[in-house]
């Protein structure tokens, strides 16, 4: 049973629209992450957070922004969507940096910008 | 820079063993992971190995680690059609901030 939830699962939106992808976890994990998965299936880290009010950019430059006001919630926002933002977005959380538990992933949001 | 490399495709027959290979760059990685992604889903942690181990077995899964060559493999015994998925190898990045993933190996199992 998934303890990390992403909504919506699928989203088709017009260019220029503002969108927020939701991610919530019920495990009390401090660390949360957003990955962008391109059509070739490669995963790129775009944002991460180590706790409330902590956000950092990842390895792949992204025009999106994130916030972490509550431990369980880590939304990702695109102020003005473009076709180049079309991708699958995966949210994850973990308890430890290098711990044995690895990451728990949500089911993803597949975003299409037309 | 950091990199995790995997072969992109593997095709096997049901009942055969599958071996998925991965090479990584960061010799300081404490844990190395294997994740599975089924169509339309997120990633699911399959297994992991601690860097001071050479082998770990978990039911049909066997992970082999060769630290000298920075080579990691995942063997699936008696492969089933339900094992068809994309398999990702992962390690912690040098900054210790997040996992970095290989490009994934698509395993196709035919009956």
DSSP string covering chain B? ---EEE-SEEEEETTS-EEEEEEES-TT-SEEEEEEE-TTS-EEEEEEEETT-SEEEETTEEEEEETTTTEEEEEESS--GGG-EEEEEEEE-TTSSSEEE---EEEEEE-
Question: With bands split at pLDDT 50, 70 and 90, how would you rate the model's confidence at B51?
Answer: confident
> What are the residues of chain B with a beta carbon less than 8 Å away from any beta carbon of chain A?
30-31, 33, 35, 37, 40-45, 48, 50, 86, 88, 90, 92-93, 96-101, 103-104, 106
Query: Which residues in chain A are closer than 8 Å to B31, comparing Cβ atoms?
Result: 98-100, 102
| B85, closest residue in chain A (CA to CA) | A41
Q: Does residue A55 belong to the interface with chain B, where contact is any CB pair within 8 Å?
A: no
pLDDT tens figures, A18-37: 999 999 999 999 999 999 99
Taking chain A (114 residues) in runs of 10, the rounded mean pLDDT of each run is 87 96 95 90 91 91 93 96 95 75 89 96
Q: Greatest CA span in chain A, whole angstroms?
A: 41
Lowest mean pLDDT among A91-100, B7-16, B21-30: A91-100
Query: Which residues in chain B are closer than 8 Å to A104, comparing Cβ atoms?
Result: 45
Q: Which residues contact B109 (CB under 8 A, 6 or more apart)?
A: B11, B12, B13, B14, B18, B79, B80, B81, B83, B84
Q: A72: alpha, beta or left, given left = phi > 0 and alpha = psi -120 to 50?
A: alpha
* Rounded Cα–Cα distance for residues B84 and B86 (Å): 7
Contact flag A98-B33 (C-beta cutoff 8 Å): no
Q: Tell me what pLDDT residue A97 has.
A: 59
* Rounded Cα–Cα distance for residues B4 and B94 (Å): 12
């Amino acid at each position: 049973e998934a303890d990390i939830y992403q909504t919506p699962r699928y989203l088709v939106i017009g260019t220029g629209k503002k969108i927020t992808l939701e991610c919530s976890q019920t495990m009390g994990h401090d660390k949360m992450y957003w990955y962008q998965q391109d059509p070739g299936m490669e995963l790129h880290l775009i944002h991460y957070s180590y706790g409330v009010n902590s956000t950092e950019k990842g390895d792949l430059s992204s025009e999106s922004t994130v916030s972490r006001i509550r431990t369980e919630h880590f939304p990702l926002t695109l102020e003005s969507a473009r076709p180049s933002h079309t991708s699958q977005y995966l949210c994850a959380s973990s308890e430890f940096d290098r711990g044995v538990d690895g990451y728990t992933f949500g089911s993803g949001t597949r975003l299409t910008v037309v | 820079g950091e990199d995790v490399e995997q072969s992109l495709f593997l095709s096997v027959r049901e009942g055969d063993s599958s071996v998925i290979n991965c090479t990584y760059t960061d010799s300081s990685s404490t844990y190395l992971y294997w994740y599975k992604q089924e169509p339309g889903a997120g990633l699911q942690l399959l297994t992991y190995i601690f860097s001071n181990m050479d082998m770990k077995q978990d039911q049909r899964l066997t992970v082999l680690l060769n630290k000298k060559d920075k080579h990691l493999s995942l063997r699936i015994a008696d492969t089933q059609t339900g094992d068809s998925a994309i398999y990702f190898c992962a390690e912690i990045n040098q900054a210790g901030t997040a996992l970095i993933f290989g490009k994934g190996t698509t395993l196709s199992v035919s009956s």
